[in-house]
C-alpha cells in the first residue's frame, strides 16, 4: 500500500512529464525521482513499481542515474483498486486525477479487465500485444492493423463497447489521428452493436472536422466503401444527413439525401421530417415541397406527421386558408389525420380570436371519432378566456371532462389579470394550489403582470416575495414584467435596478428585456440612457431587432429630433432590417407634428413601393398633423384618398376629423363624417357628441347639446339603429 501512497504523493507534488516525441523517453522532475527512489526500498513482492517498464532517465538526488525502458509507471497491489498510468495527454479519454497541465489518469478495474480481454482475443490470433508500452508488442499500429483488430475484437466478443475502448486506446498519444476508413469501420461496429449514441458522436466529429463544402462527398464514399450490409449503410447515411440538419447545413443535407438515392436508400422517416422542418423554418418551403415530391416518387408515403409541418408553417404565417385547403386535400387522399394536425389549426384559430370557429372544429373532430387531447381542449379554453367567455370555457371543461391543469388555470388567471380583476385571479390561483397543482414560474409571472398593469407595485412585490419563498426562481420573463411595469409608470430607475438584479442573479437578459428598458428611457426622454442600453445590448452579444430601433426612433421623435430619427432608419436598413409599419408611423408622426407635411406625405406614399399597407394608426398620425393646424380641406382630401386604397377607419380617427371640422365651424362636414361612420357600423360615442356640441356652440346654436343629440339620432334612425344607443352617451 505504501507504494500506492508514494505514487499518489508524486501526483500531489505536481509532477510534469515532457515527451520529446512519440517514442522518445520522458524525464521525471528530480523531486519526483527522489521520492520514488526513497520509497522503492519498502516495496513488497506483490506491491511493485516496475521500473523496467519506464522510459527515461533522471537523477535520484544522490548523484546516481535511474534508467527505465517502458512507457508507464505501474503500481500493482492486492489492496489497490486500480493502476496509475502517467502518460502524455493527447486526448481526455480517461478520468484525470491531476490538474489539466499534468497527465495523470486513473485506470479502474473495469478498464484493466477490458485490456486483459483484448489481449486474450488478440493472442488467439498469434498477436503479442502489450498495452503498457508506447510500442504495441509485435504489431504496428497503422490503419490496416487497427481496422483488422477492431473487426477481430468485435467478431469474437460481439461487444461494441470493447472495440470502442480499443479504438480510443489505440488513438491515445498518437499522431496523426485515426484515418477516415478506420473511423467508418468503428461506426459500423457501433451500429451493429446498437450503440447509436456513440455513432452519432463520431459522425458529428467527422462533420465538424470535415467542414469544407465538398467533404460530404468524401464521407459518403468512404462510408459506402467500408459498409458491412445495406441496412447498416442506410442507418449510417440517415444519421449523417441528420448531423448536417442539426448543424444547420441544410443544403448539404438535402444534396446528400438526393445522392444516396443511387443506392436505393432513403433517410429514416424521423430524419426526413427534421430535414423538411429545417427547410420550412429557414423559409425554403418550395424546396421542402420539391423534396417531398422526390421522396414520394421513391415510394415514401406522406403521412400526417410530415404534412402537419406544412400546415404549421401556413398557420404560423397567418395563412389559414392554405392550411385548411391542405388539410382537406389530405382527407381526400386518404391520409389519416390525427388530433395533432387538428390541434395546430385550432390553436391558430384561437390566436387570431376566431374562437367560435375553433370551438366548432373541436366538436366536429369529436363527432368524427377523433378524441381531443388535453392540448387541443386547452387551446380552445385559452382562446375563449382571452375573448372573455368564462362561462363558455367552463362549459367546454365540463363537456370534455378535462381535469383542470396548470395551463387551463393560467388561461383564466391571465384574462382576469388583463381585466384588472386581481381579487378573483388570486382566488383561482389559491384554488389551483389547493387542488394539488404546484404553480410554476409562469403562473406567478402572470399574476405579477396583472399587478404591474394596475401599477400596484406593493402587491407585485408582495407576490414576488411569495414566489421566492415558494422556492421558485424568477425567470427573465418575470424580471421583464417588473421592468415593463416600472417603465410604464415612469420609474425607469427602479426598472433599471431590477434589470441589473437580473444580471446579478446570473440570468442573461434577452432582446425583450433590453427593448423594454430602451422603450422606457425613450418615453421618459432620456435618450442618452436609451443609447447606453443599446450599446450594452450589443456588447452582450444580443443583436438589436426592429423593436429596438423603433424604440430609439420613437424616443427621438418625441423629443423633436425627426432628422436624427431618419438617420437611425438608414442604419436600420444598412444592418439588414426591413422597416415595418411602426417605424414609418413614428417618422410620419414626427414630421406631421412639426408641420413637415410634404415629408410626411412622401413617406406615407413611399409605403406603396415597399408593398406595405398603411394601417389606421399611421393614417391617424398623418391626419392629426393637418387637424392640429386646422388644414381641414387638405385633411379631408387625404382621408378620401386613404379610403380609396382600402383604409378602414376606427372611431378614434372619425372623432379626430369631426372635432377638426367642428373647430373651424364646418358643422355640415362634421355631420357628413358622422353619417359615414354609422353607415360603416361604428356607433358615435361621448367624444363624438362633445365634438358636435362644440361645433354647434361655435355656430351659435341656441341649444347646442339638444341639437347635437337630435342630429345623431336622426342619422342612427336612417340606418336602422335604435335612438336609445345614442342616449347612452348623453
Asked if the structure places residue 182 within a domain, the reply is no
Q: Are 33 and 20 in contact (CB under 8 A)?
A: no
Separation of alpha carbons 589 and 606, rounded Å: 15
Contact 729, 684 (CB under 8 A): yes
**Could you give the CA distance from residue 16 to residue 34 in angstroms, rounded to a whole number?**
14
71-80, 333-342, 471-480: range with highest mean pLDDT? 471-480
Query: Does a structural domain hold residue 31?
Result: yes
601-609 contacts at long range (C-beta below 8 A, 24 or more positions apart): 601/638, 607/581
Residue 147: count of CB within 10 angstroms of its CB: 18
Angle CA(633)–CA(635)–CA(639) in degrees, nearest 5?
120
Distance CA 463, CA 466 (A): 5
Enumerate residues 6+ apart whose C-beta is below 8 A from 116: none
Burial (CB count <10 Å: 0-12, 13-18, 19+), residue 272: buried
Asked if residue 173 lies in contact with residue 138, where contact means CB atoms within 8 angstroms, the answer is no
Asked, for residue 28, whether it belongs to a domain, the answer is: yes
- Helix, strand, or coil (residue 610): coil
Structural domain contains residue 70: yes
The pLDDT assigned to 174 comes to: 63
CA 696 to chain centroid, in Å, comes to 59
Report the number of distinct structural domains present in the chain: 1
Predicted confidence (pLDDT) at residue 450 exceeds the cutoff of 90: yes
A 10 A CB-CB count for 564 gives 15
In the three-class reduction of DSSP (H, G, I as helix; E, B as strand; rest coil), residue 302 is classed as coil
| pLDDT for the residue 403 | 82
Between the alpha carbon of residue 669 and those of residues 158, 658, 664, 665, 703, the distances in Å are 93, 8, 10, 9, 20
Span 245-256, mean pLDDT?
A: 90
473 lies in some domain = no
In the prediction, which pLDDT does 611 show? Answer: 76
Name the phi and psi angles at 226, rounded to 5. Answer: -100, 5
pLDDT digits (tens, 9 = 90+) for 658-694: 999 999 989 999 999 999 999 988 889 989 999 999 9
Average pLDDT over residues 123-143: 64
Q: How many CB atoms lie within 10 A of CB 242?
A: 21
Q: How far apart are CA 335 and CA 327, in angstroms?
A: 9
Residue 51: domain span: 1-107
What pLDDT, on a 0 to 100 scale, did the predictor assign at position 510? 93
How far is 464 from 211, CA to CA, in rounded Å? 49
What are the contacts of 134-142 at 24+ separation with CB within 8 A? 134/22, 134/23, 134/55, 134/71, 134/173, 135/23, 135/71, 136/170, 141/170, 141/174
Cell output for 385: 378566456
80 is a domain residue: yes
CA torsion sign for 88, 92, 94, 95 is positive
Least confident range of 87-96, 102-111, 353-362: 87-96
Average pLDDT over every residue of 400-427: 88
Q: Which of 37-46, 243-252, 389-398 has the lowest mean pLDDT?
A: 37-46
* Spatial distance between the Cα atoms of 499 and 518, rounded to a whole number of angstroms: 12
Counting residues of the chain whose pLDDT is more than 70, the rounded percentage is: 82
pLDDT of residue 725: 47
Element (H, E) at 19: strand 18-19
User: Residues 712-719: what's their mean pLDDT?
Assistant: 88
The answer, yes or no, to whether residue 30 has pLDDT greater than 70, is no
Question: Looking at residues 696-706, what average pLDDT do you find?
Answer: 88
What is the rounded average pLDDT of the residues 376-401?
Answer: 86
Whole-structure pTM value = 0.62
Let me know: does 4 contact 80? Beta carbons within 8 Å.
yes
pLDDT reading at 127 higher than 90: no
What's the pLDDT band for 467 if we cut at 50, 70, 90?
A: very high
Q: Give the chain's end-to-end CA distance (angstroms, integer).
A: 100
Q: Please, what sign has the CA dihedral across residues 234, 240, 241, 242?
A: positive
pLDDT of residue 487: 93
Would the pLDDT of 4 be above 60?
no
| Residue 562 confidence (pLDDT) above 80 | yes
Question: Would you say residue 544 lies in a domain?
Answer: no
Euclidean distance between CA atoms 133 and 123, whole angstroms: 17
Looking at residue 506, what is its pLDDT? 92
Q: How far apart are CA 436 and CA 440, in angstroms?
A: 13
A 10 A CB-CB count for 622 gives 23
Q: What is the pLDDT of residues 283-307, one digit of tens each?
A: 888 898 988 888 888 877 778 888 8
* Cell digits of residue 415: 384574462
The DSSP symbol for 619 reads: H
Whole-number Å distance between alpha carbons of 90 and 433: 55
Lowest mean pLDDT among 65-79, 185-199, 557-571: 65-79
Average pLDDT of span 641-651: 86
As given in the structure block, the three cell numbers for residue 308 are 402537419
Helix or strand or coil: residue 419?
coil
Q: Per-residue confidence at 41, pLDDT binned at 50, 70, 90? A: very low
Q: Is residue 24 part of a domain?
A: yes
**Model confidence at 268: pLDDT above 60:** yes
Amino acid at each position: 500500500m505504501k507504494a500506492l501512497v508514494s505514487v499518489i504523493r508524486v501526483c500531489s507534488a505536481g509532477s510534469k512529464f515532457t515527451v520529446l516525441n512519440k517514442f522518445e523517453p520522458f524525464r521525471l522532475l528530480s523531486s519526483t525521482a527522489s521520492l520514488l527512489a526513497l520509497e522503492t526500498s519498502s516495496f513488497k513482492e506483490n506491491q511493485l513499481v516496475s521500473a523496467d517498464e519506464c522510459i527515461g532517465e533522471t537523477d535520484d538526488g544522490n548523484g546516481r542515474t535511474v534508467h527505465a525502458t517502458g512507457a508507464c509507471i505501474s503500481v500493482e497491489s492486492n489492496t489497490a483498486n486500480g493502476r496509475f498510468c502517467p502518460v502524455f495527454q493527447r486526448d481526455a479519454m480517461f478520468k484525470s486525477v491531476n490538474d489539466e497541465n499534468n497527465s495523470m489518469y486513473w485506470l479502474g478495474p473495469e478498464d484493466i479487465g477490458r485490456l486483459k480481454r483484448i489481449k486474450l482475443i488478440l493472442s488467439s490470433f498469434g498477436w503479442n500485444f502489450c498495452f503498457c508500452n508506447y510500442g504495441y508488442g509485435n504489431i504496428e499500429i497503422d490503419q490496416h492493423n487497427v481496422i483488422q483488430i477492431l473487426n477481430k475484437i468485435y467478431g469474437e466478443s460481439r461487444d461494441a463497447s470493447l472495440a470502442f475502448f480499443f479504438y480510443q486506446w489505440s488513438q491515445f498519444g498518437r499522431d496523426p489521428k485515426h484515418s477516415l476508413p478506420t473511423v467508418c469501420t468503428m461506426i459500423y461496429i457501433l451500429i451493429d452493436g446498437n450503440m447509436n449514441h456513440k455513432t452519432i458522436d463520431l459522425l458529428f466529429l467527422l462533420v465538424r472536422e470535415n467542414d469544407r463544402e465538398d467533404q460530404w462527398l468524401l464521407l459518403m464514399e468512404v462510408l459506402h466503401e467500408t459498409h458491412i450490409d445495406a441496412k447498416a449503410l442506410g442507418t449510417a447515411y440517415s444519421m449523417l444527413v441528420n448531423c448536417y440538419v442539426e448543424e444547420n447545413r441544410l443544403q448539404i443535407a438535402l444534396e446528400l439525401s438526393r445522392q444516396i438515392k443511387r443506392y436505393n436508400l432513403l433517410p429514416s422517416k424521423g430524419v426526413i421530417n427534421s430535414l423538411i422542418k429545417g427547410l420550412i423554418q429557414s423559409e425554403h418551403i418550395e424546396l421542402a415541397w420539391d423534396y417531398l415530391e422526390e421522396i414520394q416518387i421513391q415510394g415514401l408515403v406522406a403521412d400526417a406527421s410530415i404534412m402537419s409541418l406544412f400546415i404549421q408553417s401556413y398557420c404560423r404565417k397567418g395563412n389559414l386558408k392554405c392550411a385548411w385547403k391542405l388539410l382537406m386535400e389530405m382527407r381526400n387522399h386518404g391520409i389519416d389525420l390525427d388530433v395533432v394536425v387538428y390541434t395546430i389549426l385550432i390553436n391558430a384559430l384561437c390566436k387570431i380570436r376566431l374562437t367560435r370557429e375553433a370551438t366548432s372544429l373541436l366538436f366536429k373532430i369529436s363527432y368524427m371519432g377523433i378524441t381531443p387531447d388535453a392540448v387541443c381542449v386547452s387551446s380552445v379554453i385559452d382562446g375563449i378566456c382571452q375573448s372573455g367567455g368564462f362561462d363558455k370555457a367552463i362549459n367546454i371543461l365540463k363537456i370534455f371532462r378535462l381535469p383542470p391543469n396548470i395551463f387551463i388555470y393560467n388561461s383564466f388567471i391571465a384574462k382576469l389579470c388583463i381585466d384588472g380583476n386581481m381579487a378573483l385571479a388570486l382566488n383561482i390561483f389559491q384554488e389551483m394550489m389547493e387542488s394539488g397543482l404546484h404553480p410554476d414560474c409562469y403562473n406567478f409571472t402572470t399574476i405579477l403582470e396583472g399587478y404591474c398593469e394596475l401599477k400596484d407595485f406593493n402587491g407585485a412585490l408582495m407576490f414576488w416575495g411569495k414566489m421566492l419563498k415558494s422556492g421558485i426562481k424568477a425567470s427573465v420573463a418575470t424580471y421583464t414584467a417588473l421592468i415593463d411595469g416600472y417603465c410604464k409608470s415612469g420609474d425607469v430607475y427602479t426598472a433599471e435596478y431590477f434589470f441589473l438584479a437580473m444580471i446579478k442573479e446570473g440570468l442573461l437578459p434577452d432582446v425583450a428585456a433590453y427593448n423594454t428598458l430602451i422603450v422606457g428611457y425613450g418615453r421618459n426622454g432620456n435618450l442618452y440612457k436609451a443609447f447606453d442600453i443599446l450599446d450594452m445590448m450589443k456588447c452582450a452579444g444580443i443583436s438589436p431587432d426592429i423593436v429596438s430601433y423603433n424604440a430609439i426612433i420613437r424616443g427621438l421623435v418625441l423629443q423633436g429630433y425627426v432628422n436624427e430619427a431618419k438617420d437611425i432608419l438608414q442604419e436600420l436598413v444598412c444592418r439588414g432590417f426591413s422597416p415595418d409599419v411602426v417605424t414609418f408611423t413614428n417618422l410620419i408622426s414626427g414630421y406631421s407634428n412639426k408641420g413637415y407635411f410634404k415629408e410626411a406625405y412622401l413617406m406615407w406614399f413611399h409605403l406603396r413601393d415597399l408593398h406595405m399597407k398603411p394601417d389606421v394608426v399611421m393614417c391617424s398620425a398623418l391626419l392629426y398633423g393637418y387637424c392640429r393646424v386646422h388644414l381641414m380641406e387638405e385633411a379631408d382630401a387625404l382621408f378620401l384618398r386613404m379610403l380609396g386604397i382600402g383604409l378602414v377607419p376606427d372611431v378614434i380617427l372619425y372623432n379626430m376629423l369631426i372635432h377638426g371640422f367642428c373647430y373651424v365651424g364646418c358643422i355640415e362636414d362634421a355631420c357628413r363624417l358622422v353619417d359615414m361612420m354609422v353607415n360603416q357600423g361604428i356607433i358615435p360615442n361621448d367624444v363624438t357628441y362633445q365634438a358636435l356640441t362644440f361645433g354647434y356652440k361655435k355656430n351659435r346654436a341656441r341649444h347646442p347639446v339638444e341639437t347635437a343629440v337630435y342630429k345623431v339620432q336622426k342619422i342612427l334612425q336612417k340606418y336602422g339603429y335604435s335612438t336609445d344607443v345614442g342616449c347612452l352617451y348623453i
